Amino acid sequence: MVPESILFSLDICGAAIIETYTNMLRPNHCTKNKLRLLIADDHQMFRAGIINLLKKEADIEIVGEASDGKTAVKLAADLHPDVVLMDIHLPLLDGIGATQKIGEADPSIHVLALTSYEEEEYVINMIRSGAKGYVLKEAPIEELMLAIKTIANGNSYFAKEVLCTISNLLKRADTNTHLKQKAKRHEITGRELEVLQYIAAEYTNKEIASKLFISPRTVETHRRNLIQKLRVKNTAGLVKYYFDNLHPKEPQGGVLVRSSEQ
């Protein structure tokens, strides 16, 4: 679920400044003199650079650093930081998994994604895992500081580049709601609808399995069940059925399209 504090600014796709001022005007729930910060990134030079910049801030205390996800989870449990700066691409345990484990162990610890990835799948997975904010590594130090303080106060902060991605995700969610209603009338389950959408977008069983975190055999089972349930002869029939009966007739934001880069 997308945090409520950003919903009102999504339609303008980039007006992060509105949320920024709103969050800063809210009561400060962090009563400590300094914000305790843990940094998780697998590049030592990047960690050193961030630490050097943040050391200049009088109200920031760096309590630890981790080069992999498992260490980040352990240090978070041992050190109880206010905020964890979390990269996504980490060895042993990625930032998505580490964020989830930290949140499950101690919900009072706020995770801010600090990464070079702005692709949709990373943004949504970090949000689902419990990240309270998302900032790109090329952001100026002023924005990073603002993001840290905002989520430390219990609010959310998302860079303007990411707000557009979240806006598109919400549009897709709205589209999928209508699709699910149609699918229910056609006696198609939610999981079958997901598989059918990927089939219509020309994904292979293996690719669909990777996207949905299921086995290729399970995908093939769904494919066979759909062919039988919808009374079509083959995969081509499934694709035709989807576009004739389920796919939105008018272009809408977030419609699933296979990327030419994949």
Domain that holds residue 131: 4-165
Q: Answer whether 88's CB lies under 8 Å from 96's CB.
A: yes
pLDDT above 90: residue 173: no
Model pLDDT, residue 90 = 96
Q: Quote the number of domains for the chain.
A: 2
Does residue 240 carry a pLDDT above 90?
no
214 shares a domain with 161: no
Q: Are residues 100 and 201 in the same domain?
A: no
- Give φ, ψ of 241 to 5 degrees: -60, -45
In a domain, 173, yes or no: no
Q: What is the pLDDT of residue 182?
A: 58
| Banded model confidence at residue 193, pLDDT cuts 50, 70, 90 | confident
- Indicate which CATH number applies to the domain containing 202: 1.10.10.10
Rg (CA), the chain: 21
- Please give the average per-residue pLDDT across 2-24, as a whole number: 37
Top-confidence residue, 28 or 115: 115
Q: Is the pLDDT of residue 22 over 50?
A: no
Q: Is the pLDDT of residue 217 over 60?
A: yes
**What residues form DSSP beta bridges with 158?**
134
DSSP for residue 247: S
SS3 69: helix
Q: Which of 15, 24, 9, 18 is nearest to 155 (CA)?
A: 24
3-state secondary structure of 252: coil
Same domain for 20 and 141? yes
Within-domain flag for 95: yes
Domain match, 28 and 122 both: yes
- In terms of domains, do 136 and 233 share one? no
Query: What average pLDDT does the structure give for the chain?
Result: 80
Same domain, 148 and 194: no
Report yes or no on 11 lying in a domain.
yes
Contacts of 262 (CB under 8 A, 6+ apart): 207
| Structure token pair of residue 5 | 């504090």
pLDDT at residue 32 is higher than 70: no
Q: In the prediction, which pLDDT does 153 show?
A: 92
Please give the single-letter amino acid code of residue 97. G
Number of alpha helices (DSSP H) and beta strands (DSSP E) in the chain: 11, 6
Q: Are residues 196 and 154 in the same domain?
A: no
Instruction: Average the pLDDT over each of 47-56, 135-144, 189-198 and give the range with the smallest value.
Output: 189-198
pLDDT tens readout for residues 157-170: 988 888 877 766 66
Same domain (yes/no): 31, 146: yes
57-62 average pLDDT score: 92
21 and 143 inside one domain: yes
| Cβ-based burial of 131 (10 A; exposed 0-12, middle 13-18, buried ≥19) | buried
Is 3 within 8 Å of 112 (Cβ atoms)? no
Phi, psi of 138 (to 5 degrees): -80, 0
pLDDT attached to residue 181: 61
